Chain A
């Protein structure tokens, strides 16, 4: 499998964007991943591996290719940034039994991604434990350079935090069209990352679930497109 040697990504003005959290500089990528140059760390959230097979167990035969697709996306990023550490912010597996259902070829791909770098699985509500066959360190949260990396954001005016869990998405109404896309949402003190998995949906950031996290003012939103990710003024956003 040549997934570690993907085609080159065309560099575009919008392919990635600088993002600040408590003075630290990160690079948000259009795929929904976050790179931390100072720490040489790649952060992704909510992979939901084996979501397809999780539905199949219950009789809804969704395609079994989501794990493959997600790992492929991840491989492209690892090639691009060559990180020393990869941190998965929780809900990496759709359910705790997911690892056992993974195709051998997919497990092998994951192993190749993990070679020569640290791999950290942060636990989430979907994956309170991670099967040891998937290697890596398993912890509920981690603090790097003063920034807490955890699955579910703490309620209230918390700072110094990067989290996932909510699958943020934004709906833009502009030029007479409506566009709904996953997004990063932050206020320079904390950041919520979009879900990275191939079969993951999104929750509108204007939903009440986000109310405890951010004040209405000073919100930064980056919507993911096909060729880039784009900062968008919150006043252009609408509820679903």
Chain B
């Protein structure tokens, strides 16, 4: 859908900037609630316009500030000013700047002053956070000051964990401030009483907006905001965000787009300049840095020493597998018995909570964590962030570093530990980006159609709707501002009858027109279905990991029900055979078997466990960092600043092959073993490389080069074939320009997508979000396989019989930016047109070594599944003929 231009703010939009310098006086650690609040000294401020004279604070609140010897910070006052004029505002501030109080202060004052008369249930402020834990955390830190100020303000949380009775009561008698999640807002809006519940809504606070907006959850929330604005036309939004590359996208998100074709309307913005710059070091270990891998095992001794030299270190890694690995390695050398914990998304919630509590109480010295600790919550006095492996993106690095030292005025300390030689370059690039305060730009978001389908059904559950009115309302949400009427109508049609070209389901329509032209749900069962399927988070099927004692296989399992350690992906569990060992939840486990939805394991003492390869959290290298890495690579003058092994490696590459210019792509072809290799270095991240590899393999196959397989990492990909690729090129039978032509994104891509497992996975997510397939609910999974219909079958049938179907369109849009990263691949192919630097070599080049070493470690693609079956059949035949001989 066409996207409206994001323009510079209109004249009417006010830009207020407050810059704060760190103050040495402010370095004393304060209790958490205070850290949220204010600072003693009024900081030197810089504003783009003359400051307004703020109205005095209500006595109770002023007294509270005064009692502590504090004054409200400039941005807190700026937000109060904006609120008085009912202007929606985006507050961009680093952690520790008192963002949360700034967001709540206007509401506290209004509620205290009793400015507005109640016309509905009395819900005044809605605080929406991406994490339910964050909602709980904020409640704790909000109730304290409210009590101390002596205000009569009722605050409550509402999340999926809130009891049913309480949730029911909240719909009738809500608190004045409700702290909740996007999914709960969607659910509340689907109830017939939503207009009454939200009639008094005055302020919506959106926390961690940068983490929420550019996602399907953000789409759903944007649609819900549009509905809230309709119920309460005077509602004001306050967005709280970390620094982002393009604030205008978040500013547009906060306000209604009244003329979607015109330029984007923007909210006000208040920016607090970051505190002290972080101090980032790149670790140089005594052991030589390896060619490949991300585990940073070689530097574990130094990492351990750094932990020992600090109070509390957060050790971030990119995948759960790395988390398990690093945890094992650190404990292996933990001679001082330092309390080191583990935290990642697969662990049982209770275990995670234990670690969080221990952190908060200062009982830990280090926690190895994945992105589960990226956001929001303060778990303790972290004074060092260690990043194992490259951070893959500048914004992620800054976010993670911000976890250390939740105060503006002291620099955060961070150590980056590259996992391999390429990652040295990447860490250096990330360090420079952080130095410059650069962020990764996210692609501007076009709202997903599967999310829209879910929302349309939710609105129908609330009350019969007029399609014209709903269309206008939906387009007032920024992600959907470019939605066409035909897309909207097709979505409504999808919700009602599946939206198939073959119009055979009209009789079973879920939405029926009433006399007034409004659409209503056909029966109450549809409402129930909606409520069970609400939300955009669709997890890969997971199995619980349960610890049982000792061996004994399945028989034993039936009797003993042990402790649940966490969850692992089903497809990982499927690879295991009883007796296999793997590391999980910080211990070595022996796989005993699977029953129903549970994996049974026992404790094992294997020296060399097979490490889980579950996918959780593999980020591709960001475009921004990739560019910096390319620039650094092509500029020999900066190599001297790199560690010796890395500088030598690059020197060697200049001797043996060539270093490409920053706007070129290097392609090397060489023989190795009895195979012929083609290695390309696009630096576009693993996902785009995997897609590229698939397409190149298809094309090479068509030319008759007999490709066998390929591997990809973040920087390069290698394809190998039976035929001599170098000689095909030199004889003019293969043109690299044609091989890498953009037209591969046409038919080749289409043909491959028909079979692609990634595409099928993407389709499944869309089918669940759009409500075509019901979610798998815990406990209902048994016997599911024979009964439920696999989305793979649906995908195949749709592609053949209804290729223009809405869900295929939605899945395609996801694939373009998600798992297949086609957009990025397209940009790459356009960029390198006529800029291919080909080198024919006699043997492998230094630069190619890392990616070749991943053969056998990483998954090799292009492997035909029928080939596996054929091999299994051969095995049987061998067995049978062997039997004959004996």
Contact = CB atoms under 8 A, between A and B. Distances in A.
A202 B739 CA distance: 41
B234 interface: no
Nearest to A237: B872
B223 to A, nearest CB: 21
Contacts of B786: 167, 201-203
Given A64-B498, A201-B785, A231-B876, A225 B797 contact: no
A65 B797 contact: yes
Contacts of B772: 60-62
A236 interface: yes
B571 interface: yes
A204 B504 CA distance: 34
Contact of B575 (A62, A178, A231, A240): A178
Interface in A88-104: 101, 103
B428 to A, nearest CB: 36
Contacts of A167: 786
B870 A230 contact: yes
B873 A63 contact: no
Interface in B776-812: 785-790, 793-794, 797-798, 800-802, 805
Contacts of B870: 14, 225, 228, 230
Contacts of B798: 63, 65
Interface in B541-591: 571, 574-575, 577
A172 B865 contact: no
B500 A63 contact: yes
A69 B865 CA distance: 23
A152 to B, nearest CB: 14
Contacts of B805: 63
Given A59-B525, A201-B790, A226-B866, A65 B879 contact: no
B872 A69 contact: no
B816 to A, nearest CB: 23
B526 A59 contact: yes
B872 A230 contact: yes
B795 to A, nearest CB: 10
A218 B639 CA distance: 66
B774 A60 contact: yes
B574 A225 contact: no
B44 to A, nearest CB: 62
B869 interface: yes
B571 A198 contact: no
A10 interface: no
B876 A198 contact: no
B594 interface: yes
Contacts of B794: 62-63, 199
Interface residues of A, number: 49
Contacts of B502: 64-65, 103
Q: Which of B502, B508, B873 has the most CB of A within 10 A?
A: B873
Contacts of A103: 502, 504
B500 A179 contact: no
Interface string B874-886: 0111010000000
Interface in B401-449: none
A213 to B, nearest CB: 16
B508 A62 contact: no
A151 interface: no
Contacts of A64: 498, 500, 502, 504-505
A198 B877 CA distance: 31
Interface in B844-876: 865-866, 868-873, 875-876
A228 B525 CA distance: 43
B487 interface: no
A233 interface: yes
A225 B865 contact: yes
A68 B868 CA distance: 31
Interface in B479-534: 494, 497-500, 502, 504-505, 508, 510, 522-523, 525-526, 529
Contacts of A179: 865, 868-869
A66 to B, nearest CB: 6
Contact of B800 (A69, A171, A236): A69
A143 interface: no
B873 A14 contact: yes
Contact of A230 (B505, B526, B869): B869
A239 interface: yes
A59 B797 contact: no
A238 B576 CA distance: 10
Q: Which of A60, A62, A63, A198 has the most CB of B within 10 A?
A: A63
A204 to B, nearest CB: 8
A232 B869 contact: yes
B825 to A, nearest CB: 26
A227 B755 CA distance: 13
A167 B787 CA distance: 11
B575 A176 contact: yes
A56 B510 CA distance: 9
Interface string A48-79: 00010101110111111110110000000000
6 contacts: A61-B772, A65-B802, A172-B868, A176-B575, A181-B869, A202-B786
Interface of A: 14, 51, 53, 55-57, 59-66, 68-69, 101, 103, 167, 169, 171-179, 181, 198-199, 201-204, 223, 225-228, 230-233, 236, 238-240
Given A171-B574, A230-B872, 6 more contacts: A60-B774, A64-B500, A69-B800, A69-B801, A178-B574, A233-B872
Question: 9 tightest A-B contacts by CB?
Answer: A61-B498, A230-B873, A65-B801, A230-B869, A178-B574, A225-B866, A233-B876, A225-B869, A203-B786
